[in-house]
Chains A and B, each alone.
Chain A
Amino acid sequence: MIQKKICMVGAFATGKTSLVARFVRSIYSDVYQTTVGVKIDKKLVNLDSQEVSLILWDLYGEDELQKVRMSYLRGASGYFLVVDGTRRSTFETALALQAKVEQTIGAVPFILVLNKLDLQADWELEEGRSPR
């Protein structure tokens, strides 16, 4: 079985933990995130009839008070960049984080996730429009 370390990165309250909770069963409580800044979960996926175990590092959301610990990203095979559609600032934070991650661990694949589809009416981001 193949194991891969995957990180969840994004601004504060973008829904990283909820995304994880939606897909995996967790053994650690959310308390870890606020204490050590990370919560770890596991997700088994089948890829080309190959079972892959994703070790999900759910990092504490970056805000004015706390920065994401870049050391947690070391060894990651890829990461999710999570953005809250209702807050434009989170997109900017995501871009900044992406640059920082790439600077730290090099160019590894990542997926940008635009979250909170249910609140599309409140989105500050619009289709076809450049963030800048």
Chain B
Amino acid sequence: MIGPAIRRAIATALEATLQSLNQALENSLTPQSFAWRLEALQTGKSFAEVVLLRTLLYRVEQVFLIHKETSLLLHHVAAPGVETLDADLVSAMLKAIQDFVCDSFNTSSGDSLDTLRFGELTLWIEQGPQAVLAGVIRGNAPYELRTVFQQAIEKIHQVQGKALADFQGNAAVFEASHADLEDCLRSRYQHKKQGNKAYAWVAMGMLLLALGVFGFFGFRARQRWATYLEQLKAEPGIVVIEAKRGWRKYFITGLRDPLAVDPAQLLQPVGINPQAVVSQWEPYLSFDSELAATRVKDLLKPPATVSLSLDEDGVLRMSGTAPRAWIAEAQQLAQFIPGVTQVEVADLIETEAELESIQRQIENQILQFQEGQTAIAPHQDESLQTLVEQIKRLITIAAALNQTVQVEAIGRANNNGSEAQNLALSQSRADAIVALLVSAGIEPESLTARGIGTRNPLQNQSGISTVEINRSVSFKVSLTDESHSEISNP
């Protein structure tokens, strides 16, 4: 009662499995599955059945327990879905064939037929003392299965040895061996599908990785190229007309002011191989104020004392000091420089004028001394400091005009005392001042000292008495043009 019920339950379960398998495989479109589908069509089996058959390693389809002496069937089990002929007859015929082989080929009495093979079907016969177990196996059964059969027949002999010995044709008692026989109904399918899936996953993973790496490098290359183009566009004096990315090369054409930065120099910092870039730059003049300023500087070559500024409207402002000749030339030239629309020179001082002004200031300076003294009178540090700066400035400006400066310190004395004393005193005073100036950092070559005693006395100035004003040192500046003759001023 229970046996058939279980069998039916298993059959139903298997059918359900087949159906779900059918659905699962419905979408798989491998060449293999195509071949199986074709086979299913030809044989009239369901696709899943064909798949099961083709992935089958082995399956024990039927097991017969046969009484050895009478060759009568004691019990029989079959796997779900297996078509069986009358097991009683199969059992007898099986025994007949065994006898036939034994008789026909003169085998020794201990031997018995234990394997029959026909195509993909194998018949295994496991001999016991009173009964034999015969299994019909589809596919290649592993040798371990023999052990299973052996254990089954041994167990049956152990449990039902007496029933076997007393067997008179009533097989009902051998229903008890059902579980042992059913245990022999084993099967194994290869899970090729899953293996393939694993490979597919690995392959897919590798493909994704390759795509990822490829994509990453591609993305990075695109980013770098975009960065480069951005930088080029921001650069004054460069106009990008066309930029293309080829398979392995970049192509770029455009205009470039000769004063603009070299586009190739920008490649390395953004990480692009300069070899990979084919560029063509046509020269042009940019009106960009930054570049125009550079151009102005290149053309006008202003002295260091001049600062230039060019605003966005092209107004060129010059400030500082410059030789008169340069100012005149620069004013002329600047008008023709591209990018310059107007020239402003209001803040520009002619060097010559400044030179004269400083010279005058120096020559108006008087450093005073007390009666009979050769050391400078107190409270004149400020005047001395001013003097030092004026002389330094004079030397610098004169140098810009290619002139050298000589400053003569002229010492004086008042009428008190003898002329010889006064001359010596005045010389000492001039020397003292020169020493002070040298110690303040002025080149000794630029300085001379001369005492003139009471000769050529200074006239009264701003409420200082003539006596006081002539206890002093004043200065005289001489300028010498280095290339030409002396152009000294009075």
User: Using a CB–CB distance below 8 Å, which chain A residues touch chain B?
Assistant: 1-5, 27-28, 32, 36-38, 40-42, 52-53, 55, 57, 69, 71-72, 74-77
- In the bound complex, residues from chain A placing their C-beta under 8 Å from that of B100 are 36-38, 69
Decide if B89 touches A27 in the complex (CB within 8 Å): yes
- Shortest distance from the beta carbon of A31 to any chain B beta carbon, whole Å: 12
Known: A74-B71, A75-B67, A77-B70. 8 other contacts (CB 8 A): A1-B170, A3-B88, A5-B71, A5-B72, A28-B89, A53-B88, A55-B71, A57-B92
Decide if A41 touches B89 in the complex (CB within 8 Å): yes
Decide if A5 touches B96 in the complex (CB within 8 Å): no
- In the bound complex, residues from chain B placing their C-beta under 8 Å from that of A53 are 88
Closest to B94 in A: A40
Q: How many residues of B contact A (CB 8 A)?
A: 23
Q: How far is the CA of A4 from the CA of B171 in the complex (A)?
A: 11
- In the bound complex, residues from chain A placing their C-beta under 8 Å from that of B282 are none
Q: How far is the CA of A27 from the CA of B67 in the complex (A)?
A: 21
Decide if A4 touches B169 in the complex (CB within 8 Å): yes
- Shortest distance from the beta carbon of A74 to any chain B beta carbon, whole Å: 7
Q: Decide yes or no whether B103 CB sits under 8 A from chain A.
A: yes
Q: How far is the CA of A40 from the CA of B71 in the complex (A)?
A: 11
Q: Decide yes or no whether B486 CB sits under 8 A from chain A.
A: no
Decide if B171 touches A3 in the complex (CB within 8 Å): yes
Q: Which of B72, B92, B97, B103 has the most CB of A within 10 A?
A: B92
- In the bound complex, residues from chain B placing their C-beta under 8 Å from that of A38 are 96, 100
Q: How far is the CA of A71 from the CA of B69 in the complex (A)?
A: 11
Decide if B103 touches A69 in the complex (CB within 8 Å): yes
- Shortest distance from the beta carbon of B84 to any chain A beta carbon, whole Å: 11
Q: Flag B85-105 by CB within 8 Å of A: 1 or 0 each.
A: 110110011001101101100
Can you give 24 contacting A-B residue pairs, CB < 8 Å? A1-B170, A2-B168, A3-B72, A3-B73, A5-B70, A27-B89, A28-B93, A32-B93, A36-B96, A38-B96, A40-B89, A41-B89, A42-B88, A52-B169, A53-B88, A55-B71, A55-B88, A57-B92, A69-B100, A71-B99, A71-B102, A72-B99, A75-B70, A75-B71
- Shortest distance from the beta carbon of A52 to any chain B beta carbon, whole Å: 8
Closest to A4 in B: B169
Q: Lowest 9 A-B CB distances belong to which pairs? A: A75-B70, A71-B99, A75-B69, A36-B100, A2-B169, A40-B92, A3-B169, A3-B72, A38-B96
Decide if A72 touches B72 in the complex (CB within 8 Å): no
Contacting residue for A55 out of B92, B168, B172, CB 8 A: B92
